Amino acid sequence: MKHAFWKLGAWKLWAAAVLSAGLLELPFPLAGPMPAWRSIFAWFGLVPLLWALLSPSCMESPRPLRRGFLIAYLCGVLWYMGNCYWVRDTMLHYGDMPLGAPTLLLVGYSLVLGLYFGFFGLGVVLVRRATGSTRLALAFAPILWTALELAAARVTSVPWDQLGYSQVDNQEVTQLATWAGVYGISFLLVAMNALIAEDLLFGRDPAYAWVNRPYWRVLLAVTVGSITVLSYALPQNPAPTATAVLIQPNLDVGAETSWSGPGEWDRHIAEFKRLAGEQCKTYIAGIPQTGAPQGEIICPPYPTHPDLVVWPESPAPFVENDARFQQALVAIARQEQAPLVVGNIGADFSAEDQSWREFNSALVVGVDGARVGRYDKIHLVPFGEYIPFHNLLTFARKLTGRVSEFSRGDERKVFRLNGHRYGVFICYEAVFADEVREFAQLGAEVLVNISDDGWYGDTSAPWQHLNMARMRAIENRRWLLRDTNSGVTAVIDPYGRVRQSIPRHAVDALPAQFAFRSDVTFYTAHGDLFAWLCAILALGIVAWAGRKLLRQRIASS
């Protein structure tokens, strides 16, 4: 048996899966901001996996469908364990879990989400077996991959680091996102991986030539032509017309945060007041920790005031109904003569079950300190802000002692402040493209994302989170003000470029410059239309191929 394994070269198939997993880690942040040059690995990182799936060693094995699924599944599990290693670190330090449980959580997380890779391998091999055509299987690959990325967003709600995010610094390619979202970029990348894989699989065939590949020739010509035309629409630097102060309090997420000690509340509020008034200072003209130059000192012409002051989501004991909190908001709004967006815990009394419901919220306060409204976070973090299936997973409460039980918001809102409309979303919601675009669809002229990335520490997660937020700015052509507890606090322009930021892990404030836009992109108007078309097409092709293969087996039996 061992001899047969090596004779068939099966070990190469598993090695190719491991190689693809490693290559696909490289175009994403690993422990800091990602150098732009590493995005190139996304253009060929899937090639070893595609070669393994469609090579004779896989297709001629006794159970090619099972082997294809397992080869791709191995790749997926390894990729998730590498890309999302921060899950273990976060739960180890802040999850109150027993020894070994964080590692088991990461493994379980990867085993579940790795199934998407497994289904990709299964689908590609299925089409190859049903049609007998490797080229058709390769043509199907980008369609299936895009459909599975949509499933990751809609079914398991973890669309973390989809392949297209790897190109967030490639301004020519990201133009596709205004039409098809990040899914369009993923489609392009997988298509190019398939093109290279075809060369590997057929390159030694004398009959193989470019002229015999009309599908790929047309695809490449249309894609390159479209990107070239779109790149001319890029402005050099859209000019800012408004200012905001983004406060970064850098509160310790693991510390006791009741602020109940003598004078502790007053000391912290005084710090927030001081930071809210910091409008004349330097900043980083780019992403922190990349060697970006120091920006010029911003001193707005007086007598002017910022258009907005933002406090992030943080572990501060800010509760909307707390009288001290309300008084502090009034004082700062009047001091700065500016409206506020403040991360806090909102609370409403439910007449239905006669109890108070708590929300992870962003409170919006006017220039006079009066309450304008509140946005309650809709997409909560499982096992972080609530326990899914809590009646079934009764053990989870013991494993994750610090998990909150927030209620889910039910309405996306746009707030009008000083004649302009703002869309505010909270933390993890930044990774859901179709949800964020609804704020722009509702008329938001600028997007505000408040977050507490302190839970991630110095892992890859804060940088991954930043890049996903940058893609939201690109898809909707909106300036995005990103205010975090400990970084990365930044201003992102409508083309995904970080224009201003401040260092991480520092008590600081960013004098943000931005502008308002009201134009609507195709993606803003229609959402994940392209991804849904791929999903429908993928389901149809899989059903057709499965039926065809079944008929072949019945006929041969």
Q: Is the pLDDT of residue 395 over 50?
A: no
d(CA 400, CA 365): 34
Share of the chain above pLDDT 70, in %: 87
Which residue type sits at 346?
Answer: G
Cβ atoms 365, 329 nearer than 8 A = yes
Cβ atoms 480, 244 nearer than 8 A = no
Q: Which domain holds residue 454?
A: 242-255+264-514
**Closest by alpha carbon to 224, among 262, 181, 172, 281?**
172
> Does the residue 523 lie in any domain?
no
Region 338-356: what's the mean pLDDT?
Answer: 85
**Closest by alpha carbon to 524, among 423, 431, 433?**
433
* Number of separate domains in the chain: 2
Predicted local distance difference test score (pLDDT) of residue 211: 44
Per-residue pLDDT reduced to its tens digit, 141-196 = 999 999 999 999 999 999 999 999 999 999 889 989 999 999 999 999 999 999 88
**Residues 306, 429: one domain?**
yes
**Other residues' Cβ atoms within 10 Å of the Cβ of residue 219:** 18
Q: Give strand pairing partners of 244.
A: 308, 512
**Residues 41, 75: one domain?**
yes
**Residues 433, 545: one domain?**
no
**Residues 306, 207: one domain?**
no
> Does the residue 5 lie in any domain?
no
SS3 308: strand
CATH of the domain at 337: 3.60.110.10
pLDDT bracket for residue 8 (50, 70, 90)? very low
Per-residue pLDDT reduced to its tens digit, 115-140 = 999 999 999 999 999 999 999 999 99
What is the DSSP-derived secondary structure letter of residue 164? G
What is the DSSP-derived secondary structure letter of residue 238? P
Cβ atoms 186, 149 nearer than 8 A = yes
- DSSP-derived secondary structure for 40-99: GGGGTTTHHHHHHHHSHHHHTSSSHHHHHHHHHHHHHHHHHHHHTTHHHHHHHHHS-PPT
Q: Give strand pairing partners of 371.
A: 365
d(CA 343, CA 362): 5
Q: Is the pLDDT of residue 96 over 50?
A: yes
Cβ atoms 459, 450 nearer than 8 A = no
Per-residue pLDDT reduced to its tens digit, 446-467 = 999 999 998 888 899 999 999 9
Residue recorded with tokens 């809210």 = 276
Q: Per this entry, what is the length of the chain? A: 557
> Does the residue 406 lie in any domain?
yes
Cβ atoms 227, 176 nearer than 8 A = yes
Per-residue pLDDT reduced to its tens digit, 352-380 = 776 788 899 999 999 999 999 999 999 88
**Residues 225, 273: one domain?**
no
Residue recorded with tokens 């994403």 = 28
Q: Is the pLDDT of residue 1 over 60?
A: no
SS3 18: helix
**Residues 370, 487: one domain?**
yes
> Does the residue 555 lie in any domain?
no
**Residues 214, 251: one domain?**
no
More confident residue, 285 or 11: 285
**Residues 308, 406: one domain?**
yes
Predicted local distance difference test score (pLDDT) of residue 399: 43
Per-residue pLDDT reduced to its tens digit, 185-243 = 999 999 999 988 988 887 655 555 544 555 555 666 666 666 666 655 666 678 899 99
> Does the residue 179 lie in any domain?
yes
d(CA 315, CA 261): 16
> Does the residue 556 lie in any domain?
no
**Residues 195, 69: one domain?**
yes
Region 84-100: what's the mean pLDDT?
Answer: 81
Per-residue pLDDT reduced to its tens digit, 271-330 = 999 999 887 888 999 999 999 998 877 776 655 789 999 999 998 889 999 999 999 999
**Residues 533, 489: one domain?**
no
Q: CA of 49: how far to CAs of 13, 18, 125, 328, 507, in Å?
A: 8, 8, 12, 57, 45
> Does the residue 4 lie in any domain?
no
**Residues 208, 326: one domain?**
no
pLDDT bracket for residue 4 (50, 70, 90)? very low
Strand order in the sheet with 340-350: 371-376, 355-365, 340-350, 308-311, 242-248, 508-514
Beta strands at 308-311 and 340-350: parallel, antiparallel or unpaired:
parallel
**Residues 101, 203: one domain?**
yes
